[in-house]
Amino acid sequence: MTTPVPQTPDTTVHHDPVQNTENAIELKEVEGLSQGRIVLRRFVRHRGAMVASFALLGIIVLVTTSIGWGPVPGWWQWGPNQLTPVVNPGGSPTMGMQDGGFQIGPHPFGQDNIGQDVFARVMRGTQISLMVMVVIGLVATSIGILMGAAAGFLRGRVDNILMRFTDMVITIPVIVIGAILGARFGQATPVVLAVALALVTWTSMARLVRGEFLSLREREFVDAARVAGASNVRIMFKHMLPNAVGVIIVNTTLLMASAILLETALSYLGFGIRFPNVSLGTLISEYQTAFNTRPWLFWWPGLFIVAIALCVNFIGDGLRDAFDPRQRRIPSQRKMNSAQRKAKA
Amino acid sequence: MATSTRVDGDAAVSAVPVSAGSPRARLRASAPMITFIGRRLLSSAVVLLGATFIVYMLLAYSLDFLQDLRTSTAPNKEQLIQARIDLLDLDVPPPLRYLSWLGGVAGCAIGRCDLGGSWVTGQATPDLLATAIPSSLQLMSVAVVLAILLGVTVGITSALRQYTGFDYGVTFGSFLLYSLPSFWVAVLLKLWGAIGFNDFLADPTLSWPTILAIAVVAGLIWQAVIAGDRRRRALTFAVSAVATGAVVWFVTATGWLNDPSLGPVVIALLGAGAAVAITALAAGLRNRRALWSTLTVVGIGALLWYPLQFLFPYATGLMIAGLAVVTVGVGVLVGFLYGGPDRGQSMRAAGITAFVVGFLIFVDRVMAVWEPYNNSSRVSGRPIATIGAQTPGLGGDYWVRTLDTFTHLLLPTIALTLISFAAYTRYSRASLLEVMNQDYIRTARAKGLPERVVTMRHAFRNALIPLATIIPLDIAALFGGAIITERIFAWSGMGTLFLKALENRDIDVVMGYFLVIGTMLVLANIIVDFIYAALDPRIRVNA
């Protein structure tokens, strides 16, 4: 016969009524949802991040379908290296208000001095810059995770060696090492350049993952996994990594935003993507001398860089808020005021 | 030093009680500190050594030292290649070449540095660095100071107005600046900003709708900054819009831009405004002694304006620096003489005000040479320069040279400031928000302190701790120069030195460049550790 264990009164209840209600509301909202759903919900609620996601998606669709990707043809009539007859004097853009309505015309972004279609060239440049950005993001994240996880989990001598190595790489400014690597790998395909740049941009990720692993390895579920007989590798990647995924994803987006700026800056300096490949940076460098006569050559590549970097930064911000468990829904000042007025009435 | 007292406390637990104050006790107490410094220096040296090795290997394997000779059609091609190989020791494996380079650097310890030089131009690396570093420092120090001041101010304001339109605007703006490619902005500024502004200066008139638009925008910004209820916002909007509109109208209508000057009256008015604002922030307007001391300083400044004009023709850089120190000293003295129970506040407020007034007088004097400068044959009515650090063959006295430096610094400084400004705004906003949620802020409010004291004394100072640990790293980065901005504005600093050396395949020069910035960064990291320990009592130095 078993006697029922007397229920001990819960002494951990907050005595702050406001905080209690707030917590209750918060808990009610996420009741029965998985962690992934909660994060997704919070992300969708972040207006800036949602707008940025759709904008980035729009850019990607436009860029990949318009002039095609690899052997797949696109719907745009000109190719990036095709010489076309000059339409407007000087090749100025045909997009704008004409004949009583908004017209796109055959060359919406204009033509350059030898008659190439700027829209097609910007699309090609964006394709390559985006691809370099994604490759840098993925490769640097993987290296950072491996380095950081090993250092944080194994600690001791391994940690010491890996972190001193990270310090060494951090000491070298990214643009300096990027220029040196670019001087060597710039002629090769963009993927090779991207991997080379990823080899120098993984450092912040490694430090972050290490910190995260150092604190996670003290948790009970790690002990539980070890008692159950899991190997080190299994504990690291099956048990601990999913718990660090929030930090990693957020940092990856920020890494990507700085990666596109790094690649375009190197290409601008002449150490990045080179002829016959074009990136947004090479377009700007190629066209900057024509700024006074053909300003449109210079505007569009820059605007695409800004748009992409801004979208990625906003998505990162939204993800950070979404993964942050302390995040509460904050009504705007106006909503607060109107609620107060209602309460008074 | 603040850190050592804390280490004292730490060590006292384990140390054998020796009579306090004896040299032995002090030595024992500071032992953990010395061990800490020793360890830190050692590990930094190892890191620096490794980093130089990485860079050397990368350079040695990625640069093609024979590139130009391979395609050469010279009849003695083989001979030339052999000469190049002998010159650069290319037949020696790179790790051994690194060791010989390292030996030259190690020679610095016994006073015989050998950093090599450029094999293309024959210049020695230290000479190249000695001309490039001051040039980069000149370019970047203004930008960093401006970015810190503006960024922290805007970030703090934005945090204090969290979740308002202003906060969202600043957040969006800083994201936008963060996402701007620096080379694009710099080229835009150079080709569009400079040319546009120079054209505007040739005929400085604005149409009424433009003035009105500027006034409305200024009003909107100010009412968002000051915030408050609807009446206060409307009032702020009206006052700031009218004031801005009037100033813009005055400046354009009277041709002030082509012959600018402030004069003692405007200096006194601006100074008084600054005095009130500084007192309000540093001591609160209730503190009458502080208010009177700042206003007295402004009065002294306005009175000294006329006699100073006789001194200024003989000005040199050293004299101006000396005057600046004297000015601040006078301000502090005035604050001290007003006395009262809390002298420190008056002294601080008066010292800052004195600096501002002195700066206004300085600006006024520089403005006086604007017209001759602008009309000189070298400048010929296009004052905002886009290239280089000075107008060649300009001549002139100290004031003309100062103005010339200013017009050359303007655009690169804007380009550099914009980007680091965004970072400082983000940091200080996040940092202050974090602090404002702390319990001790609630305590300070609960015991009835005015909001100014809570913000400035309790929150602001603690919010600066994380910032103080970024600033040394940024200052270290000053020595590296700005590679992209220097290239675009043809500024011959460290960045240009690096790019040129990389193009010339001058491995010694690139290594010299990296040695400077690497050492600076490593030192800055050590300083950061100390600042952290000094500012945050929870962190202890333990070896």
In a domain, A190, yes or no: yes
Which chain A residues contact residue B498 at CB under 8 A?
A: 176, 179
The model's pLDDT over B350-365, given as tens digits with 9 standing for 90+, comes to 999 999 999 999 999 9
Question: Residue B187: closest CA among chain A residues belongs to which residue?
Answer: A288
- Number of separate domains in chain A: 1
The model's pLDDT over B437-493, given as tens digits with 9 standing for 90+, comes to 889 999 999 999 988 889 988 999 888 888 887 888 888 887 877 888 998 898 888
In a domain, A38, yes or no: no
The model's pLDDT over B38-73, given as tens digits with 9 standing for 90+, comes to 888 888 999 999 999 999 998 888 888 887 777 777
- Other Cβ atoms within 10 Å of B445 Cβ, number: 14
Q: Which two tokens stand for residue B76?
A: 């003695």
Cβ–Cβ < 8 Å for A146, A322: no
More confident call, B537 vs B328: B328
Whole-angstrom distance, CA of residue B63 vs CA of residue B84: 14
In a domain, A98, yes or no: no
Element (H, E) at B61: helix B23-62
Burial of A115 (0-12, 13-18, 19+ CB in 10 A): middle
CB contact under 8 A, B187 and A284: yes
In a domain, A154, yes or no: yes
What share of chain B in percent tops pLDDT 70?
Answer: 93
Residue A130's SS3 state is helix
Whole-angstrom distance, CA of residue A41 vs CA of residue A61: 25
What share of chain B in percent tops pLDDT 90?
Answer: 33
Of the listed ranges A129-143, B114-128, B262-276, B402-416, the least confidently predicted one is B114-128
CB contact under 8 A, B184 and A305: yes
Please, what is the average pLDDT of chain B? 85
In a domain, A295, yes or no: yes
Q: Give yes or no for residue A185 having a pLDDT over 70.
A: yes
CB contact under 8 A, A269 and B43: no
Backbone angles phi, psi at A42, to 5 degrees: -65, -40
Model pTM greater than 0.90? no
Question: Residue A260: closest CA among chain B residues belongs to which residue?
Answer: B181
In a domain, A29, yes or no: no
Tell me the residues of B at the A interface, defined by beta carbons under 8 Å apart.
43, 46-48, 50-51, 54-55, 58-59, 61-63, 163-164, 172, 175-176, 178-184, 187-188, 191-192, 195, 477, 480, 483-484, 487, 498-499, 502, 510, 514, 517-518, 521-522
pLDDT at A142: 96
CB contact under 8 A, B191 and A183: no
Question: Residue B507: closest CA among chain A residues belongs to which residue?
Answer: A180
In a domain, A22, yes or no: no
* pLDDT tier at B29, thresholds 50, 70, 90: low
CB contact under 8 A, A306 and B182: no
Q: Most B CBs within 10 Å: which of A167, A200, A258, as the mutation test of the B interface?
A: A167
What's A245's domain CATH number?
A: 1.10.3720.10
Q: Give yes or no for residue B288 having a pLDDT over 60.
A: yes
In a domain, A20, yes or no: no
CB contact under 8 A, A302 and B175: no
ipTM, 2 dp? 0.81
Cβ–Cβ < 8 Å for B92, B479: no
Helices (H) and strands (E) in chain B, counts: 24, 0
CB contact under 8 A, A168 and B183: no
Q: Which two tokens stand for residue A70?
A: 């690899």
CB contact under 8 A, B63 and A330: no
Q: How far is B60 from chain A (nearest CA, A)?
A: 10
Q: Which residue has the tokens 């993984």?
A: A202
Q: How far is A100 from chain B (nearest CA, A)?
A: 27
Q: Which two tokens stand for residue B489?
A: 């504005």
Segments forming the whole domain that contains residue A127:
117-310
Nearest Cα residue to B151 out of B416, B421, B415: B421
